[in-house]
């Protein structure tokens, strides 16, 4: 029997496994990098072992250090979580060679499915070779790893060589393996997967389907089970293929077989030899604990011949610290307040609590918010409501996008669930949320009330000029009134019922609403569910940059420069100059205009903060441009 488990992972992943271990009476061991010394998963574990350094390559990807940590802490088993070393066959062997129980599939099964090219060969699927114009568009993919890394869509044949090179470089950096392959790109297909679970006695479960089509940058955002609207014949085909893939490699433990569904047909993508981030939706529908079943299988226990019957519908939303309107740029900073309402059995899997800091080194996901309901429509409504009432004070997040996505007609009716959802709808989904203008009014009046309480002041016999406050593109104008209140002159139609430093009551169109307001030292203001950034009344001269300055849009690490890039080069508007890696995502930084590169302050390996000067492109006036 397993008595102590080390989880070779961090954050939400480790916290999720620890929760099941506690319920089963199993002790837990965490490993942590220097950047994670105060992280929630470290605080929740019974014991913790430091892995010196901050970069994943120095810490969580060092299998030798993780095995030593397990032995030092007295663990008798290792759970890999998902990500990092979870699909590393050599790490699995090192664990078992050290006399520890490996809570995962056999190393041989991991190796067989680790390469997408070899996995396809097992199922009789050949990759695309000798690409021609007739084959376009195509998808370049990394043979190892996943999460959208090393993946490129190619629509023009001339662009293929450069995209192959870029995908290979990214794959080598992310997975230590630069092998890539090319396959037909299925435009706007559905990403559907099947959860499998197998024991050492020959039983293989297929626990239904999941739809993970809502993705950004090839990474999942909203997932649900079961996948809606699939014909019974197609469901059976997906299930049979998934079981066949598991049986072909002698699979043991939890795994996922992924497909792209288009035109009523399923195209095999890959098999992930680990638990998936989105496993909670399957747990909710089938009433099982997949981590507990992983532990049971690792101890040699047999699964029942058939899985439990499914019930109802479950949906999961990934809450990220990122700005969807700015290229999904990851965000960092202190999470001053983080509260998700749990009424109605809302499940929250997270590695953060209020007061924690979101750093630059790892994935930007704050939490997975999961609901279960008898029907899909009820689950959609329930999850949107829970997210809408969630309070997140700190970095910008995708919370508003998630709410808008769930309520979008295409998603709510399950009419066009495909991977092109955000490409079609992102602009409409990232407009200022309803009520943002009135939240800005509340923020301005709360600040005025705080200043009044601190410094005194109020109504004067001579009519004062309007006070002005701006938040982003929203401008607010107001003035004190004789009775100690405020009159709002912009926007029109707002009556102030009462105003204090922490709460403002407004009446708009006959409807009265209370808005709680909190301001933080980092300059952000949160009014109800809205995050506002005040616009400075007087810009700081130190913030001014010379024209053509190219600033880091996010904190991250410079991973590479464009080939041969040097000061003095002529560059074209939109030309890629360098690539930043931030929180598991690679971001291309392009020339802001055509001109000459007059300064280059970026070099591979350099870590930069948001707003750091990367390069300067001096534009040249044309005959049409005024001098």
Q: Which residues are catalytic?
A: 274
Can you tell me the distance from the alpha carbon of 430 to that of 427, in angstroms, rounded to the nearest whole number? 5
C-alpha to C-alpha distances, 323 to 216, 330, 362, 559, 586, nearest whole angstrom: 12, 6, 16, 21, 15
Long-range contact pairs involving 146-154 (C-beta distance under 8 Å, separation at least 24): 146/270, 146/272, 147/83, 147/218, 147/219, 147/584, 148/215, 148/217, 148/218, 148/219, 148/585, 149/174, 149/175, 149/584, 149/586, 150/174, 150/175, 150/180, 151/218, 153/185, 154/182, 154/185
- The 3 state secondary structure assigned to 324-369 is HHHCCEECCEECCEEECCCCCCCEEEECCCCCCEECCCCCCEEEEE
- Strand locations in 520-605 (E): 525-527, 530-532, 549-551, 556-561, 570-571, 576-582, 585-590, 595-600
Can you tell me the distance from the alpha carbon of 101 to that of 103, in angstroms, rounded to the nearest whole number? 6
Can you tell me the distance from the alpha carbon of 64 to that of 216, in angstroms, rounded to the nearest whole number? 34
3-state class (DSSP) for residue 587: strand
Crossing angle of helices 11-23 and 290-298, rounded to 10°: 70
Buried residues in 345-367 as b, exposed as e (16+ CB within 10 A): ebbbbbbbeeebebebbbbbbbb
Asked whether the beta carbons of 5 and 31 are under 8 A apart, the reply is no
Buried residues in 472-490 as b, exposed as e (16+ CB within 10 A): eebebbbebeeeebbebee
3-state class (DSSP) for residue 227: coil
Stated as kind and residue range, the H or E segment containing 487 is strand 486-490
- Strand locations in 126-273 (E): 138-142, 152-154, 180-184, 190-198, 204-216, 219-225, 253-262, 265-272
What's the token pair of residue 349?
Answer: 């899997």
- Strand locations in 40-186 (E): 47-50, 77-79, 101-102, 138-142, 152-154, 180-184
């Amino acid at each position: 029997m397993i008595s102590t488990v080390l989880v070779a992972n961090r954050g939400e992943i480790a916290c999720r496994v620890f929760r099941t271990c506690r319920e089963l009476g199993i002790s837990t061991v965490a490993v942590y990098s220097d950047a994670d010394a105060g992280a929630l998963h470290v605080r929740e574990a019974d014991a913790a072992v430091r892995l010196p350094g901050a970069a994943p390559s120095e810490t969580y990807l060092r299998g030798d250090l993780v095995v030593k940590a397990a032995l030092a802490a007295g663990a008798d088993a290792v759970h890999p979580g998902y990500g990092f070393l979870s699909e590393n066959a050599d790490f699995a062997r090192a664990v078992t060679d050290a006399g520890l129980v490996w809570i995962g599939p056999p190393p041989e099964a991991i190796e067989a499915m680790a390469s997408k090219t070899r996995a396809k060969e097992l199922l009789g699927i050949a990759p695309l070779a000798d690409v021609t114009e007739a084959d376009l568009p195509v998808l370049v993919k990394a043979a190892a790893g996943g999460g959208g890394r090393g993946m490129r869509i190619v629509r023009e044949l001339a662009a293929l060589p450069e995209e192959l090179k870029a995908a290979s470089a990214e794959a080598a950096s992310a997975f230590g393996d630069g092998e890539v392959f090319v396959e037909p790109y299925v435009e706007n297909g559905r990403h559907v997967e099947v959860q499998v679970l197998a024991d050492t006695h020959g039983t293989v479960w297929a626990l239904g389907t999941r739809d993970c089509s809502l993705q950004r940058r090839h990474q999942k955002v909203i997932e649900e089970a079961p996948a809606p609207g699939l014909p019974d014949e197609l469901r059976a085909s997906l299930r049979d293929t998934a079981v066949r893939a598991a049986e072909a490699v002698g699979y043991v433990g939890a795994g996922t077989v992924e497909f792209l569904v288009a035109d009523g047909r399923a195209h095999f993508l890959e098999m992930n030899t680990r638990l998936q981030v989105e496993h909670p939706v399957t747990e909710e529908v089938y009433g099982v604990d997949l981590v507990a079943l992983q532990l049971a299988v690792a101890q040699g226990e047999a699964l029942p011949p058939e899985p439990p019957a499914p019930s109802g519908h479950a949906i999961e939303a990934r809450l990220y610290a990122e700005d969807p309107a700015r290229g999904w740029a990851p965000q960092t900073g202190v999470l001053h307040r983080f509260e998700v309402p749990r009424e109605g059995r809302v499940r929250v899997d997270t590695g953060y609590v209020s007061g924690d800091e979101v750093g630059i080194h790892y994935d930007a996901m704050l939490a997975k918010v999961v609901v279960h309901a008898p029907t899909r429509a009820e689950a959609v409504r329930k999850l949107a409501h829970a997210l809408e009432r969630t309070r997140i004070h700190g970095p910008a997040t995708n919370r508003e996008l998630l709410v808008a996505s769930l309520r979008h007609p295409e998603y709510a009716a399950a009419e066009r669930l495909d991977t092109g959802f955000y490409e079609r709808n992102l602009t409409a989904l990232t407009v200022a949320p309803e009520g943002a203008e009135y939240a800005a009014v509340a923020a301005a009046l709360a600040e005025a009330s705080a200043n009044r309480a601190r410094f005194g002041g109020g109504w004067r016999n001579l009519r004062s000029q309007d006070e002005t406050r701006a938040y982003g593109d929203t401008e607010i104008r107001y003035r004190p009134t004789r009775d100690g209140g405020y009159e709002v002159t912009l926007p029109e139609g707002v009556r102030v019922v009462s105003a204090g430093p922490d709460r403002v009551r407004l009446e708009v169109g006959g409807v009265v609403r209370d808005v709680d307001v909190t301001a933080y030292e980092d300059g952000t203001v949160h009014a109800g569910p809205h995050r506002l950034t005040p616009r400075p009344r007087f810009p700081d001269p130190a913030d001014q940059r010379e024209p053509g300055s190219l600033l880091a849009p996010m904190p991250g690490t410079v991973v590479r420069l464009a080939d041969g890039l040097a000061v003095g080069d002529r560059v074209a508007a939109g030309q890629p100059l360098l690539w930043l890696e931030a929180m598991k995502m690679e971001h291309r930084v392009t020339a802001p205009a055509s001109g000459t590169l007059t300064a280059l302050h970026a070099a591979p390996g350099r870590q930069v903060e948001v707003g750091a000067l990367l390069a300067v492109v001096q534009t040249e006036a044309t005959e049409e441009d005024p001098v």
